[in-house]
Amino acid sequence: MKKYLFVLALISLTACQDNSGTSTQQKNAANPDTTSYKIYSELMDQILGQKLGKVSNGTAYRTGSLNPYRKGFPGFSHKALAACMIWDVENARVSYKNWFSSGNTDWNYAAVGALNNCEHYKRQKSLSCKCQVVDHDDINVLEIPYDFRRAYESRPENGPGVIANVGAGGNSHNGNEIRYSEAHVQPIDSPLIVRYRPIHKATRIKDETTVAVDKDGKEKTDTEHNESTISVTKVGENLLYQTSYRADDKDFTFNMLMSELGDVQEVTVSGPDTEKSHEVNQALQTFKTMIEAYSTVYPDEGIKTGDELYSDRGEVRMGSFDAWVKIKGRVVGLTHFRGRPSILVDLAGSYLRIGSNPKSYMNGWMLLDANTGVTTKMHTRTVMQFSANAKKLIMTAIDELRLPQLAPTQITDPSEKQFYLDLAWEKLLEGREVFPVMVKQVGRVGYVKSASLIGGKKCDAVFRYDETGQGDWELTCTDGTRAVGVLQTLGRGKGSKGSGFDTDGNKIDFRIRHSLVEN
């Protein structure tokens, strides 16, 4: 049985999560993470049961009326609610000082507005609580700190945060499916070009629970929490993907050399006495299998909704075990994760096969970061029934890679909106790259302040155009770089395009898009 548990524990590709807690963002009572849902439900019941205090003039609500958050904000398509949370680890109790809600036409700004109001209140009152988004568009996005979760679930009255319901589903992929419900998803109608790009060291956290159910229905639960780091650096024309691993009280590094499309050329391990460590070499073989089965190879022509990313792969053998895995990954559309444009991939229909046992179907989803190509989150559930009288194994895993937020940290002006700068800059960029930028529009002039571009370069820009849609632009960066050029608007809602040169004579070509998937 240990062999099977070991295989199950390694069938999810490494992605990652914040050190501060376990991300739990499912919407309803079928949420596999019962701890998050229980705390979220209790908090929302308290908050929604409160009456409004002082209400600003011009709103549709009156002082003393019940919290109308569930009804939304008139004129806004998105909403969020934040609270100043107090996580009492010693007593395993959670409370909050105050709550704040916000509405906006932009998904990111709704959360930012609620958090800003919370932080302002926290500073004003000199509080020691932590401002967190609790609800986003009626979806649970509350993140539970790991230390608090461990203390909370150790109490008999709370029980473990079991992330699998045993009753329905069996080994069918139709029952207890893990559905994506974290953010709005829009279809990718025209090909979106994605390539792997360098990233600085990022925290990787994986939380995994395996539930063994015997023929009498008794459960035995095993939960693991692992932390590591990954980085991706440029090596000539290729990229070096590295992830840390600890075994035998020693630190090792798995190294994967790949092209920007994701074609793997070499996988190795480095560290002290790697040849002598059976555990490390076994983990290396599993890492190679994960790369063969789960890593995304991006097509030259880009990806769009409906594409099958792993259609050319059959069953992949898992190391030296008599086990095979087959991944199905259908592109659903474009969404956001931590303010970053991300591609949602549905994993339903994937399966695991061990020996002569029936196929064990897997469901779930993954998010691919549109700017760097890496998997930033994956949530999976696998059920295996070895025989009618044997144990049933149910394994769920949540992996996250916590890359820096791309969303703005505060709203400086309601006229400021997020766009995407599709940029080619001779000698400074090897190819085209996309950068999120905030543009403040005043009449026919657009202003960009402190945009983070190449290698952290901070730049200000001004875009001007006349009634015909033609104009000019200029850019100034903190390192002294300057550039000027011309531009042409492309019609309402279609952004603009432009070209020019910097002071060193390097050519610049760009397109300003409202979204990543515009034609």
In the numeric block, the tokens 């109490």 are attached to 155
Q: Under 8 Å CB-to-CB from 432, ≥6 apart: which residues?
A: 193, 422, 423, 424
Encoded amino acid at 152, one letter: Y
d(CA 94, CA 509): 52
Give pLDDT, residue 269: 78
Segments in the chain below pLDDT 50: 1-32, 57-60, 160-175, 407-414, 519
Alpha-carbon distance values, 391 to 5, 142, 285, 304, 383 (Å): 12, 33, 27, 41, 11
In the numeric block, the tokens 């376990």 are attached to 22
Contact 135/44 with Cβ under 8 angstroms? Answer: yes
Q: In a 3-state reduction of DSSP, which class is residue 325?
A: strand
pTM over 0.95? The answer is no
Encoded amino acid at 322, one letter: D
Q: Under 8 Å CB-to-CB from 311, ≥6 apart: which residues?
A: none
In the numeric block, the tokens 């893990």 are attached to 178
Q: Under 8 Å CB-to-CB from 454, ≥6 apart: which residues?
A: 425, 428, 429, 433
Give pLDDT, residue 266: 86
Give pLDDT, residue 405: 65
d(CA 300, CA 443): 39
What dihedral angle (degrees, nearest 10) is formed by the CA atoms of 85, 112, 37, 399? -110
Over the stretch 299-324, which tens digit does the pLDDT of each residue have? 988 899 999 998 888 788 776 667 88
Burial class (CB in 10 A: 0-12, 13-18, 19+), 25: buried
Q: Under 8 Å CB-to-CB from 6, ≥6 apart: which residues?
A: none
Give pLDDT, residue 96: 92
Q: State the DSSP string of 268-296.
A: EEESTTGGG-HHHHHHHHHHHHHHHHH--
In the numeric block, the tokens 């002039």 are attached to 445
Alpha-carbon distance values, 26 to 8, 36, 164, 398 (Å): 23, 9, 13, 12
Give pLDDT, residue 141: 80
Over the stretch 170-196, which tens digit does the pLDDT of each residue have? 222 233 567 787 777 888 888 888 999
Give pLDDT, residue 162: 28
Query: At 35, which helix (H) or strand (E)?
Result: helix 34-48
Query: At 298, which helix (H) or strand (E)?
Result: none
Gyration radius of the chain's alpha carbons: 25
Q: State the DSSP string of 144-196.
A: EPHHHHHHHHTSTTT--------SS-TT-TTSS-----SS--B---S-B----
- Distance in Å from the first CA to the final CA of the chain: 53
Q: In a 3-state reduction of DSSP, which class is residue 501?
A: strand
Tokens of 158: 């709370």
Q: In a 3-state reduction of DSSP, which class is residue 5?
A: helix
Give pLDDT, residue 469: 84
Q: CA neighbours within 13 Å on the CB side: how many for 6?
A: 14
- CA 202, 423, 464 angle in degrees (round to 5)? 125
In three state form, how does the secondary structure of 414-466 look? CCEEEEEEEEEECCCCCCCEEEEEEEEEECCEEEEEEEECHHHCEEEEEEEEC
d(CA 239, CA 325): 26
Give pLDDT, residue 48: 82
DSSP secondary structure code for residue 73 in this structure: -
- The helices-and-strands tally (H runs, E runs) of the chain is 5, 26
